[in-house]
A and B are shown apart, each in its own frame.
Chain A
């Protein structure tokens, strides 16, 4: 109880500082369901007209559901790729005596620190040549490759906490190296895999630059690109529509955060369980 009392000035300060942010979100939410008279911020009527994009597709645009599906596929596929590759590569780097292990570890670190945007022109050319430009698969591969160093590094951290004796016990019990990994080690790093998957999904869901440059038009459009296109469209500029689509776009992120924040915290715990 005393602990709570002592911390109240901090709580108060934080509340005041974050109040504008909260207010903005609340206003954004209200604003998408109401109309306000010109020149005023105070809404005077309830309306669903800003949400008509959900069931009515204007000519020249993709259906919002098609775009959402694209975003979902993009985020899920990159997350799956990152998790599958990282969970194996991380194990190898953590446990096996691979040649040039130090070089790989340093390389992974450098790749993670490397600003991917500087590669964008080269990637653009490569995708164009192999015929994956303006396709979802193309961006998925690129995004997964860019996220992978972080994933591998994280998974290595999780594997490092698994006691070495557990694996040796498994080998003595007659299991192959692969079975040991699959049946004994992988279950120990489940929290890490889950956290990494979620993290990679959120990164994919929020990605803008890569799809914008590598799959800007056509059927591969994702939500972030769709949203940007709304602002760029000078002919029928609609601020309220932009806000509604924006809210629609961040809703899944908020929901995921709300339900799985403890798992995400695992990432920052560096793999320590508990």
Chain B
């Protein structure tokens, strides 16, 4: 079901957390709400499911205005960060709880509960209690319980934050598989860009209660609207250096470096201070614009090496390259950037 937040605002007393946010989630889509801790992601989620009353604006499910409808009638499935399983009930009872509340006939409850347990692969655990399950299994039960009543929308609040690295990888693809199989509209809240990029159709990136950009992961990575977005996506992250426009090129002060203005970017007037963003994968042996510096840090990651390159003016760039041992710490090197992959930002962070 299509979800629409229409100029939605939320404040707690005098603290304005969200102001005039408009966000549309398409039917069957999985959208990531990505942003740093405290930016208002959970607040948005809780407004959608009705735990928080909104202070302004409307929330629509399809064409129906849900703004004043109590949580119980919104039919929203929520997976909480802590899973919030009912500790005194077995897995089967946990999954069946929403159906029993609905007073479905017992045979139907059992059928739907088992169907859902099969979907999330926990058929063998139905008689256990939550305390007897691993983190990943609890997660699956929480998903099954949220999905069993065929909700209008599935909300996931940092669902992977409590799992260890290996399980996180596994559950990432599992959650996506289950979402695709059920075709449900879903919103995933996360502060981890990898989760957002790998699991979702589109990403809405938030900062301080505002949505900065909404785009597909690929589009957002290639075309960040602000320096904040560019800095949030990508691991290892993008590096920024200050430069000044002069004669159609970008001069990095005190470093004897000139970079061309990237294509599709209007050449800024002479003397304009700009911020240049260089992703680590675009700095290396091939490219068109030379950059000299000293290798100040090397991290071996097996297949690849990660280098910090300190320029003459003290700025630090990052480079990720195929593993090799022809350069080592403190070497002076001349590497190259692919100038068509540079990003230019104004002093305020807006993309030029």
Contact = CB atoms under 8 A, between A and B. Distances in A.
B351 interface: no
A251 interface: no
Contact of B101 (A179, A187, A188): A179
Nearest to B70: A171
A220 B251 CA distance: 99
Contacts of A85: none
Nearest to B87: A188
B148 to A, nearest CB: 9
A168 B51 contact: yes
Interface in B71-104: 71-73, 75-78, 80-82, 84-88, 97-98, 101-102
Nearest to B71: A171
Interface string A177-192: 0010000100110000
Interface residues of B, number: 25
B87 A172 contact: no
Interface in B41-78: 49-51, 71-73, 75-78
B88 A171 contact: no
Nearest to A172: B78
A111 B89 CA distance: 37
B168 to A, nearest CB: 20
A131 interface: no
A163 interface: yes
B34 to A, nearest CB: 22
B98 A166 contact: no
Contacts of A188: 87-88
A247 interface: no
A174 interface: yes
Interface residues of A, number: 16
Contacts of B75: 174
Nearest to B46: A168
Contacts of B50: 171
Given A163-B82, A165-B84, A166-B84, A172 B77 contact: yes
Contacts of B85: 169
A175 interface: yes
Nearest to A190: B88
A173 B82 contact: no
Interface string A154-172: 0000000001011011111
Contacts of B145: 169, 173
Contacts of A172: 49, 71-72, 76-78, 146
Majority secondary structure of chain A interface residues (helix, strand, loop or mixed)? helix
A176 interface: yes
B95 to A, nearest CB: 10
Given A173-B97, A174-B72, A174-B101, A168 B88 contact: no
Nearest to A166: B84
B87 A174 contact: no
B47 to A, nearest CB: 13
A168 B71 CA distance: 9
B149 interface: yes
A101 to B, nearest CB: 16
A175 B77 CA distance: 13
B49 to A, nearest CB: 6
B75 to A, nearest CB: 8
Given A188-B87, A188-B88, A165 B72 contact: no
A172 B88 CA distance: 18
A184 B85 CA distance: 10
A166 B86 contact: yes
A187 B98 contact: no
A173 B49 CA distance: 11
A168 B72 contact: no
Interface in A172-221: 172-176, 179, 184, 187-188
A171 to B, nearest CB: 5
A176 B50 CA distance: 14
Contacts of A168: 51, 78, 80, 84
7 contacts: A166-B84, A168-B80, A171-B50, A171-B71, A172-B49, A173-B98, A174-B149
Closest 10 A-B residue pairs measured CB to CB? A165-B84, A173-B98, A169-B84, A187-B88, A165-B80, A174-B101, A171-B71, A172-B78, A174-B72, A175-B101
Interface of B: 49-51, 71-73, 75-78, 80-82, 84-88, 97-98, 101-102, 145-146, 149
Given A165-B84, A166-B84, 16 more contacts: A165-B81, A169-B86, A169-B145, A170-B86, A171-B51, A172-B77, A172-B78, A172-B146, A173-B98, A173-B101, A173-B149, A174-B75, A174-B102, A174-B149, A184-B86, A188-B87
Interface of A: 163, 165-166, 168-176, 179, 184, 187-188
